[in-house]
Amino acid sequence: MRAHLGDQLVVERTRSGAPRRDGEIVGLRHPDGTPPYEVRWSDTDEVTLVYPGPDAHVHHLEHGGPGAPDAGAARTVPPAVPSAGAANPGDLGRRVAAERRARGLGREETARRAGMSPGYLAYLEEQPADPSVTALIRLADALGTTAAALRGGGFDLPPGQGVALLRPQLHDLGPDECRALLSTHGIGRVAVSAPDGRPAVVPVNYEFYDDTIAFRTRPGSLPAAAVGTEVAFEVDHVDDALSQGWSVLAVGPASVVTDPRAVHGLVERSHTMPWPGGERDLWVSIRAATLTGRRITAANPH
């Protein structure tokens, strides 16, 4: 019996009344994939060291199709190689792929070093996956980094502390691209003059529709100082794993939304309550007179 990290161990109980069990293999004691295995059981989520008996078999991830042993009864296993145009990879997948490419490693070699199947590594890189702690530690060791770094450790540090691209390219974004990046909602920053005259930049939850940015706050709050002035509103995204990012800047007059029907419409279409909590019933709208943006990407290879 041989297995890779991420494979499934299925135990078929032959004794009458004994339950069938399955779990993910999250640890290997031998490089060749022979037992024993550390298994995280699907029914208890506990990890135990298992010496499989004659009633056990391995459900290999890369063979997880209709013809695999017990495919109909086994716990659902994600496909090894996602189809073209599959879902967005998660942040973990992007970090893993970026670290691997930065070290000039292919998937086969990286998977070999980490003791997992290449198919499982492809799944981790291409899907929003959540590997076990053991699998993540082995993968981080294979890539010469840490599990915390792959998970996005240092989330409380300012973004953009990664290494700049060797050949970065700065693009100006058109109004339509800016609208697409603003999407319908998110968190942005509004630049205002505080009551004492000093400049301030405040993050707010916002909604975006018909070239109008709207956010709710409290009367007398710092974001409310935007009312009656021309303000700048900025959103951005930084991908430290890929050293890429974009920013969009909207400039226009801010005013209070007073029409009850308009307020009702904003409440109905809002995607989230303000993260700071509390009563925030004052809606402020910014009519985007201008929309500009920039994006940093890697230069196209020639």
Reading the chain (302 residues) residue by residue, the pLDDT tens digits are: 888 887 889 888 655 556 778 888 877 778 788 888 888 887 776 778 888 888 888 887 653 333 333 333 333 333 333 333 334 567 888 889 988 988 889 999 999 998 888 888 888 888 877 787 778 888 988 998 888 788 876 666 777 777 777 788 999 999 999 999 998 889 999 999 988 889 999 999 999 988 999 999 999 999 999 999 999 999 999 877 677 899 999 999 999 999 999 999 999 888 888 888 888 999 999 999 999 999 998 887 55
Structure-block tokens of residue 268: 């109905």
| pLDDT value of residue 218 | 94
Nearest to 207 by CA among 250, 270, 283, 291: 270
Give pLDDT, residue 84: 34
Residue 242: count other Cβ atoms within 10 Å of its Cβ.
17
Length of the chain, please? 302
Query: Angle between the 107-114 and 118-126 helix axes, to the nearest 10 degrees?
Result: 110
- Hey, which CATH number is domain 91-151, 3.40.50.2300, 1.10.260.40, 1.10.3720.10, 2.40.50.100? 1.10.260.40
Which two three-digit tokens encode residue 51? 């010496």
- Position 62 scores a pLDDT of 52
Q: What is the pLDDT of residue 208?
A: 94
Within 13 Å, how many C-alpha atoms sit on residue 42's CB side?
17
Rounded Cα gap, residues 154 and 115, in angstroms? 27
How much is the pLDDT for 85?
36
Helical H runs in the chain?
A: 91-102, 107-114, 118-126, 133-143, 147-151, 175-182, 260-269
Tokens describing residue 105: 């490693």
Q: CB-based burial of residue 126 (10 Å sphere; 0-12 exposed, 13-18 middle, 19+ buried)?
A: buried
> Given the structure tokens 């998977």, which residue do they identify?
111
Q: Hey, what amino acid is at 110? A: T
Report domain 169-298's class.
Answer: mainly beta
pTM value?
A: 0.57
Closest CA to 183 of 108, 252, 271: 271
Q: Residue 296 corresponds to which amino acid?
A: I
Own/partner pairs for 266-273, CB < 8 Å, 24+ apart?
Answer: 266/207, 266/214, 266/216, 269/207, 269/209, 270/185, 270/207, 270/216, 271/184, 271/185, 271/207, 272/185, 272/205, 273/205
Neighbouring CB atoms inside 10 A of 109's CB total 14
> Residue 18's pLDDT is what?
62
Question: Which residues are 224's β-sheet partners?
Answer: none
